[in-house]
Each structure stands twice: as structure tokens, then as C-alpha cells.
Structure 1
Amino acid sequence: MRILWTLPYLPWPTTSGGKTRQFHLLRNLAARGHRITLLVQSKTALDDDTRAALEPWLERLIVIPRRSLRSLRTLLAVAFARPPMLATVNGFAPQLQQQFEALLREEWDVIQIEHSYSFQPFEAPLKRAGKPFIMTEHNVESGLGAASYHHFPKWARPFTRFDQWRYRQWEARVFGQTRELIAVTEEDAKGLARLTSRATAVVVNGVDCDYYAQVVPDRYSRRLLFIGNYEYGPNLDAMEWALEHIMPKVWHLDPMVRLTIGGYALPDHWRERWADPRIDWLGFVPDLRTVQREAAVFFAPLREGGGSKLKVLEAMAAGLAVVTTEQGSSGLNVVNGTHYLGCEDADGLAKLLAEAIEQPHLLTAIGEAGRAYVREHHDWSVSAAQLEGIYSRVHRQEETHACV
């Protein structure tokens, strides 16, 4: 099939869950013979490494620069435009809209839009062309609340409540125009179905199981690991909660436990705020296997967010025992005590970690059960097959409609 795919970010390097999902789905679909044109609006420039990573999988790569967040147009639109803040930041982009309109003159089997917040530049051209499209919504954005407005001061709460209201109106407007709406978890699919009063398909988040298959964690290392993108509020909240309220309790029970914290946009001031020699601070880690092999446990104390967590899937694929919360295991059909170890409060998590680190055999059993689960249910080949099935169904519907 010929696929026109749009993104509000470059999917390389894979510094976030969304980028990781996009890169692997594009790669898997291209390997299945689909011809993909990728239209991207990006806040970062296209460099040689990104081009080299993406172009082998694409028929065309078209990148349009996004205006600065501090531009007057963005600031005024955030305050006064009908679309909500995220949609405004990524919207009102004439160059992107013109490029998309030109592409719509070509014949496409599938038009795929990622994220409702990217939709504003595409709405008018799609209506004028009368073209059906598929949309994937990675989270129910209007329900994220604290995750979307993590950096806002308390005095801005009236605006955040107003913006959530705007997002609910935006979701109703956008979702009603889709030919097919896709979620990444069953729970999100149910939430989107309640908003749209129609069925929502699911394409699960995945992991490259072969890439992590040979990782053997060091169950005796007494080392915890967390990897995240710290531009995302829930990851900031998770680590601040861990460092302020959970790890002091862990170290009271077992002073020998170490913690490795890595990922993109790691805040520099954390090193001074929590200057403990038992914490190893890393930046972006290009190959997670290097740090997974040194860890005994992947610790993900997430309290906010949505969807399923790629960081958790990657840890499970590497055979790491995961200690997390209900939010950290959301979207996964896993059992506490079998596939992961979970608790919801700081005291319980600290006790769980201190006890688990003393039981390498338990860590092995939990880690290998998690690895088997993701191999069966969350390999990227599973996700690509689900998406390909939706493409085929929509394409058949279009052919039937054209013949009537």
C-alpha cells in the first residue's frame, strides 16, 4: 500500500516512547513492502544521523520546521484560539498545510495522522479533498491533567482547567472526522469509544524482542535502574517521588542499594539536589542493553500518565524484574507477583525493593516471566500486524464504497 503518514516530531533518535513506537512501526511496515511517505513537523532540524536512520524505510521524508514556542503567534493562539494548547503549538502552520494539501493530490491507500494535537493543519485540506484518514491517539489527552500541565504554577490552574475543557471539545471535533480511530491500550480504547460512541481499534505498544533477547541482568548487583524522557512530566514526577520519599526508606533498610538514573533531558540540578554517591547519573543512553546488564531491578514509580509504558516493555524484554505501580503496568495484561512486583505507596515500594534485592531467584523468575509475556504479546511484529489489518479493512471499505 501507499501510505501518507504524518508526525509532529522526528522519530529518531528514539528518545521517547512515542518516537520509539513510530520508528519501529515504520520499519516493520516498510519491511512488509508498504511504501511510506513521512511528513514531519519538527522542532529539531533534520541531521545526517536521523536521515540515515529513517530514509532506508521511506519512499519520501519531508520535514517542515516548527515555529518557536515563544513566538508571538503561538502565545496569542494558546490564549485565544479555539484549539487547546497542544493543538495550537503544533497548529496554524501554513507551510505544513500547503505541503499536505499538495500531497493529497496524489493517490493514497492510507492516510495516517498521529496524535489529535497535530490535526489542525490537516483538517481543512482533508475536508476539501474529501479524503478519509486513520488517526492514532497515544493517550486520551483531555484526561491526562497533571501530566500535560506538570510545569504550570498553581496560580495557572484556571487556565489548565479551561484548556482541558478545550481539549474535550477538540477531541469530539477531531475524532468524529476519522474513518478509523486507534488507541494503544484496551483501556484507552474504551475511553475513546465513550467519547465517540463507536468502536476504537487497538494497536499495542511493542518492543524489539530480538534486540534485547541476549541481555542477562546482574541479579546480584543490588542496582536499580530507571530510564525516561524528562521532557515528559510523569517521568519527572516519578523520579522526584522516588528520590525524595522512596529511596531514603530503601537505604534505611539496605544502605548498599545503588540507583542508576538515565534518559533524555535529565535535569542538571538533580545532581546537586540529591548528591548521594549511591546514585549514578546518566544522560541519554543510545544502547539500553549496556545498563540493563548491570541492573538487578527496573524501578518505575510512576503515578501519572496514560497508555502503556515502553520503558517497562523494554525492561521486561531484557529479562529485568520490574518493580512499579498500577500506573507503570497500565495497558499490559500482566499479573502482580508473576510478571512484575507492584505497590502504590512509598513505604510499600521501599519494602518491596529491599526484600526483592535479597532474592536473586525471585528476580530471575519475575524477569523471565515478563520476557516471555512481551515476546508473545508486544513484539513490534505483533503491533505492525494489527495496524496492517486495520489498513486492509479500511482499504476494502473504500473499494466497496467506490463500486457502489
Structure 2
Amino acid sequence: MKILWILPYLPWPMTSGGKTRQFHLLRTLSERGHRITLLVQSKTEANAATRATLEPWLERLIVEPRRPLKHPVTLLAGLFAPWPLLTTVNGVSRPLRERFDSLLQEPWDVIQVEHSYSLQPYLQPLLRAGRDFVLTEHNLESSLGGATYDRFPAWASLFVRYDQWRCRQWERKAFDSARQVVAVTESDAQAMRQLTRTPVEVVVNGVDSRSFAEVSADPQSQRVLFVGNYEYAPNLDAVQWMLDEIFPRVWSHCPEARLAVAGYALPANWPERWTDSRIEWVGFVPDLPDLQRRCALFIAPLRQGGGSKLKVLEAMAAGLPLVSTAQGASGLAIRPEEHYLAGDNAQALADAVIRLLSEPTLAAQLAGAARLYARQHHDWAVAGDELEQIYRTLPSTQEHPACV
């Protein structure tokens, strides 16, 4: 199939779950013979390393720059436009719309748009041309609440409520305009079906099982791992909760335990705020398996967010025993005491960490079951199969395919 894939960010380097999903789905589809043009509006340039990584999987990589966050257009539209602020940040771009108009002159089997908040520059051209498109929504943004608006000051509460209302209206419009909506979990899909008559199907988040197959936990290390993108508010909350409430309880019973905090955009002031020498401020690591094999277990103390967590899937695929909240395990058909240990308050999570550090046999048993689950149900090959099945139902692929 000939696919036009549209993104509001470059999928390399893989500094977030969303980027990881994009990279692996693009690679999976390309390996299966699909011809993909990737259109990206990005706040960062596509440097030589990024192009060298992405272009082998693509027919074309087209990158349009995103204007600065505090540009007057963004500030004015953010206040007065009918769509939410996040859509304004990623929309209202004449160069992008003009580039898209020219691309619409070509035959496409599938037009794939990622995130409703990126749709604004493309929606009217798509409707005018009568072109179907598939819309993937990684989270139901209007339901995230604090996860989206935590950084707004208290005096902006009226604007926050207004923007949440705009978000709900925009989601309905985006979903209703699509030929097919894709969610990443069944619970998200059920919520989206309440907003639209457009069919909503699930394409799961995945994991590159081969990359993690040779990794195993090191129970002797007593090192607990957390990985996140710290541009995302739920990960900030998770680390703060760990260090303020969870790990003081862990250290009272296991003083030798260590906590490795890894991931992109680690706040510079954290090492000054939390000075305990047992905290390892790792930051972004390009080789995650190398770090994982030096850890005893993975913790996912998430209280906010949506979808399913790729960092959790990667930990499971690497054979790391897992401690998680219900939110951290959301979207995954895993069961406490069979695949992981659960807790939804600081004491329960601390007790679970202590238990796994103290009971290596139990830790290995849970890790083995979780690894098998990840490989069988969430390998990227599974996600690729699900997405291809959706594409095969589209009228554009049945009536006049652009590429056979």
C-alpha cells in the first residue's frame, strides 16, 4: 500500500513512548513492503543522524518546522480559536497546509494521521478533497485533566476549564471526520465510542521483543529502575511521589536499595532537591537494555495518564520484575501476583518493592510470566497485523489501490 503518514514530531530519537510507537510501526510496515511518505511538523530539525535512521524505511521524509511556542499566532489563536491550545501549538500553519495540499494530488491507499491535536492543518483539505483518513489517538486528551494542565497556575483555572471544553468539542469533530479511529487500549476505545459513530478499533502498543530477549534482571544489584519522558507531567508526578513518599519507606527496610531515574528531559534541579546518594540520576540512555540488565526490578508509580505504557512493556520484555499502580498497568491484560505486584498508595508500593527485593524466586517467577505475555501479545508484529487489518477494510484499498 502507498501510505501518507502524518506526525507532529520526529519519531527519532525514541525519547518518548509515542515516538517509540511511531518508529516501530513505520519500520514494521516498511519491512512488509508498504511504501510510506512521512510528513512531519517538528519543533526540532531532522539532523543527519535522524535522516540516516528514518530514511531507509521511507520513500520520502518531509519535515516542516513548527513555529516557536510563544509565537504571536500561537498566543492569539490559543485564546480565541475554536480548538484547544495543544491543537493551536501544532496547527495554524500555512506552509504545512500548502505542502499537504500538494501531497493530496497524489494517489494514496491510506492517509494516516497521528493525534487529533495535529489534525487542524489537514482537516479542511481532506474534507474538500473528499479523502478518507485514519486517525490514531494515543490518549483521550480531554480525559487527562491534571496530566495536561498541571503546569498552569491557579489563576488560569477559568482558561483551563474553557480549554478542556474546546478539547472535547475538537475530539468529537476529529473523530466524526475520520473514516476510522484507532485507539491503543480497549478502555480508551470504549470511551471514544461514546463520542462518535465512527468505528474505533485497537492497535496495541508494542515492544521489540528481539531487542530485549537477551536481557535479564540482576537481583543482587538492589537497583530499582524508573524510565520516563519528563516533558510529560505524569512522569514528573511519579518521580516526585517516589522520592517524597515511596522510597523513604523502602529505605527504612532495605537501606541498600538504589533508585535509578532514567529518561529524556530530566529536570536539572532534581539532584539538588533530592540529594540522597542512593538516587542515581541517569537521564536519557540510548541503550536501554544495558541499563536494564544492571537493575533488579522496574517500578511504574503512575497516577495520571492514559493508554498503555511502553516503558512498562519494555521492562516486561526485558525480564524485569514489575511493581506498578493500576494506572501504570493500564491497557495491559496482566494480573497482580501473576505478572506483577500492584499498589495504589505509597505504603503498598513500598511493600511491593521490598517484597521483590527480598524474594528473588517470586521476582523471577513474575518476570518470566510478564515477559511471555509481552512477547505473545504486544510484539510490534502483533500491532502491525492489527493495523494492516484496519487498512484492508478501507474503501480506498479495496476499490482503487495505488500500490499492489
The TM-score range, normalised by the shorter chain, is over 0.9
Alignment partner, residue 288 of structure 1:
288
Shift, 1:161, TM fit = 1.2
Q: Distance in 2 between matches of 1:322 and 1:96?
A: 43
Q: Distance in 2 between matches of 1:365 and 1:201?
A: 33
3-state SS, counterpart of residue 37 of structure 1: strand
Q: Confirm or deny: 8 A CA contact 1:220 1:360 kept in the other structure.
A: no
3-state SS, counterpart of residue 63 of structure 1: strand
Superposed CA offset, 1:42-71 (max 9, x none): 000110110011000000000000000011
Alignment partner, residue 104 of structure 2:
104
Q: Confirm or deny: 8 A CA contact 1:141 1:167 kept in the other structure.
A: yes
Q: Distance in 1 between matches of 2:41 and 2:197?
A: 31
Pick closer, same or farther for the CA change 1:165–1:398 going to 2, 3 Å. Answer: farther
Alignment partner, residue 276 of structure 1:
276
Shift, 1:236, TM fit = 0.3
TM-score (norm 2): 0.98
Q: Confirm or deny: 8 A CA contact 2:184 2:202 kept in the other structure.
A: yes
Alignment partner, residue 315 of structure 1:
315
Q: Distance in 2 between matches of 1:104 and 1:308?
A: 33
- Say if 2:233 is the partner of 1:233: yes
**1:210 counterpart letter in structure 2:** R
Deviates more, 1:310-319 or 1:197-206: 197-206
Q: Distance in 2 between matches of 1:59 and 1:227?
A: 33
Q: Confirm or deny: 8 A CA contact 2:303 2:327 kept in the other structure.
A: yes
Alignment partner, residue 127 of structure 2:
127
Alignment partner, residue 180 of structure 1:
180
Q: Distance in 2 between matches of 1:82 and 1:398?
A: 36
Superposed CA offset, 1:157-192 (max 9, x none): 221111111001101111111001100000000000
Q: Confirm or deny: 8 A CA contact 2:2 2:35 kept in the other structure.
A: yes
**2:57 counterpart letter in structure 1:** W
Q: Confirm or deny: 8 A CA contact 2:84 2:166 kept in the other structure.
A: yes
Q: Which blocks of at least 5 consecutive residues in structure 1 are unaligned? A: none
Q: Confirm or deny: 8 A CA contact 1:225 1:259 kept in the other structure.
A: yes
Alignment partner, residue 68 of structure 1:
68
Q: Distance in 2 between matches of 1:229 and 1:162?
A: 27
Q: Percent identity?
A: 57
- Say if 2:48 is the partner of 1:59: no
CA RMSD of superposed structures (Å): 1.2
Q: Distance in 2 between matches of 1:11 and 1:245?
A: 34
Q: Distance in 1 between matches of 2:347 and 2:189?
A: 33
Equivalent positions of 1:65-214 (< 5 A) are: 65-214=65-214
3-state SS, counterpart of residue 164 of structure 2: helix
- Say if 2:266 is the partner of 1:266: yes
Shift, 1:400, TM fit = 8.9
Superposed CA offset, 1:323-352 (max 9, x none): 010000000000011111111000111112
Q: Distance in 2 between matches of 1:330 and 1:194?
A: 19
3-state SS, counterpart of residue 298 of structure 1: strand
Shift, 1:126, TM fit = 0.5
3-state SS, counterpart of residue 194 of structure 2: helix
3-state SS, counterpart of residue 267 of structure 1: coil
TM-score (norm 1): 0.98
Q: Confirm or deny: 8 A CA contact 1:110 1:395 kept in the other structure.
A: no
Shift, 1:395, TM fit = 4.0
Shift, 1:396, TM fit = 6.5
Q: Distance in 2 between matches of 1:96 and 1:339?
A: 45
Shift, 1:219, TM fit = 1.6
Equivalent positions of 1:239-250 (< 5 A) are: 239-250=239-250
Tell me how many residue pairs correspond in the alignment.
401
Alignment partner, residue 224 of structure 1:
224
Superposed CA offset, 1:290-332 (max 9, x none): 1100111101100000000000000000000110100000000
Q: Distance in 1 between matches of 2:55 and 2:397?
A: 31
3-state SS, counterpart of residue 176 of structure 1: helix
Q: Distance in 2 between matches of 1:397 and 1:285?
A: 40
Q: Distance in 2 between matches of 1:395 and 1:386?
A: 17
Q: Distance in 1 between matches of 2:174 and 2:47?
A: 32
Shift, 1:239, TM fit = 0.3
Shift, 1:24, TM fit = 0.2
3-state SS, counterpart of residue 132 of structure 2: coil
Alignment partner, residue 254 of structure 2:
254
**1:329 counterpart letter in structure 2:** A
Q: Distance in 1 between matches of 2:4 and 2:223?
A: 44
Q: Confirm or deny: 8 A CA contact 1:356 1:362 kept in the other structure.
A: yes
3-state SS, counterpart of residue 391 of structure 1: helix
Alignment partner, residue 301 of structure 1:
301
- Say if 2:358 is the partner of 1:358: yes
Deviates more, 1:107-116 or 1:391-400: 391-400
Q: Which blocks of at least 5 consecutive residues in structure 2 are unaligned? A: none
Q: Distance in 2 between matches of 1:313 and 1:214?
A: 15
Alignment partner, residue 334 of structure 1:
334
Equivalent positions of 1:14-33 (< 5 A) are: 14-33=14-33
Q: Distance in 2 between matches of 1:350 and 1:232?
A: 24
